[in-house]
């Protein structure tokens, strides 16, 4: 009986670990083992199905010799830079304006944030229609009297990537606003009052005191938006389908079409590994600092 009791109490001690084990196992397999698996495939000559031969860095060499991949990487830089700059700028501006004790704040906040509840496919579909030169904005402005007005970016290979930026910023700047607003609400009002008594003007207070105090929020916004930018896939697919030609290809769409459409699984895996390394370089230091500060604080 004693033995049975000690067994059951030992079982009780292990129970939490036993309960958490299955989900840990699932995550270890589906996240970490699968990453490893993708890594292995990137070193093989796999095309339609995985083949486990070893060809070294051949697929990475091939990837970086593909003009389409160069377009994808260049687009990712253009898209992320503008997307981050505009979303952060607009989000910060809206958060500061909303923080001025205004009427109907709740309503406005809801309006700025509702795009985040939509699927990127819905956003892409809507903007594709608005940006359509034959029937959308261009036509309306033309009929209004300004007949020379041209807004055909979506069909112009040089400009199409900027339409992805427009739709992306529309969808995500409210998210930046929400995080900045939470940050602003966390700032102690007495600091601002003291500066006002000293005679500092409001713009000066914001530039010198409040915006520097938003640094943690700024970091979060930049990291999370970069992550959204790198994995952007549905938006491009719905808005431009990577086109015209391959003008709006991004690494995410490149990976998908190489793997599932062009039977270049090895190249697809190599591009996935490049994407993963980019995300890891941004996210791991961020998570590390967040966790460490949380433990200290």
Q: How many CA atoms lie within 13 A of 210 on its CB side?
A: 29
Three-state secondary structure of 56-89: CCHHHHHHHCCHHHHHHHHHHHHHHHHHHHHHHH
Which residues in 228-247 contact other proteins (CB under 8 A)? 230-231, 233-234, 237-238, 241
Q: What string marks each residue from 59 to 88 as x (binds other proteins by CB under 8 A) or -?
A: ------------------------------
Q: Does 220 bind other proteins (CB under 8 A)?
A: yes
Which residues in 144-203 contact other proteins (CB under 8 A)? 170, 174-175, 178-179, 182-183, 186
Structure tokens at 289: 């600092």
* Closer residue to other proteins, CB minimum distance, 62 or 139: 139
The span from the CA of 63 to the CA of 213, in Å, is 43
Q: How many residues bind other proteins (CB under 8 A)?
A: 101
Q: Which stretch binds other proteins (CB under 8 A): 36-44, 64-72, 150-158, 187-195?
A: 36-44
Which residues in 107-136 contact other proteins (CB under 8 A)? 108, 110-123, 125-130, 132, 135-136
Other beta carbons within 10 Å of 37: 13
The span from the CA of 71 to the CA of 220, in Å, is 28
Sign (positive or negative) of CA dihedral 245, 167, 162, 173:
negative
Q: Which stretch binds other proteins (CB under 8 A): 53-61, 65-73, 203-211, 225-233?
A: 225-233
Q: Does 23 bind other proteins (CB under 8 A)?
A: yes
């Amino acid at each position: 009986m004693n033995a049975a009791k000690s067994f059951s109490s030992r079982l009780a001690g292990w129970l939490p670990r036993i309960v958490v084990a299955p989900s840990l196992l699932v995550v270890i397999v589906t996240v970490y083992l699968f990453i490893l698996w993708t890594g292995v495939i990137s070193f093989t000559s796999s095309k339609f199905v995985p083949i486990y031969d070893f060809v070294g860095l051949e697929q990475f060499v091939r990837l970086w010799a593909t003009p389409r991949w160069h377009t994808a990487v260049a687009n990712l830089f253009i898209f992320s830079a503008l997307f981050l700059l505009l979303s952060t700028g607009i989000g910060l501006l809206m958060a500061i304006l909303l923080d001025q004790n205004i009427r109907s704040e709740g309503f406005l906040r809801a309006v700025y944030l509702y795009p985040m509840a939509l699927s990127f496919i819905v956003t892409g579909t809507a903007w594709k229609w608005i940006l359509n030169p034959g029937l959308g904005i261009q036509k309306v402005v033309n009929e209004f009297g300004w007949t020379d007005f041209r807004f055909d970016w979506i069909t112009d290979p040089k400009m199409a990537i900027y339409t992805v930026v427009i739709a992306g910023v529309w969808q995500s700047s409210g998210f930046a606003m929400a995080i900045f607003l939470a940050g602003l609400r966390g700032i102690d009002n007495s600091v601002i009052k003291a500066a006002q008594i000293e005679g500092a003007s409001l713009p000066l207070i914001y530039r010198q005191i409040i915006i520097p105090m938003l640094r943690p929020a700024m970091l979060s916004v930049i990291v999370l938006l970069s992550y959204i930018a790198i994995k952007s896939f549905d938006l491009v697919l719905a808005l431009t389908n990577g086109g015209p030609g391959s003008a709006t290809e991004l690494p995410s769409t490149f990976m998908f079409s190489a793997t599932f459409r062009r039977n270049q699984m090895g190249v697809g895996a190599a591009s996935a590994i490049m994407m993963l390394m980019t995300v890891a370089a941004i996210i791991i230091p961020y998570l590390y600092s967040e966790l460490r500060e949380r433990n200290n604080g």
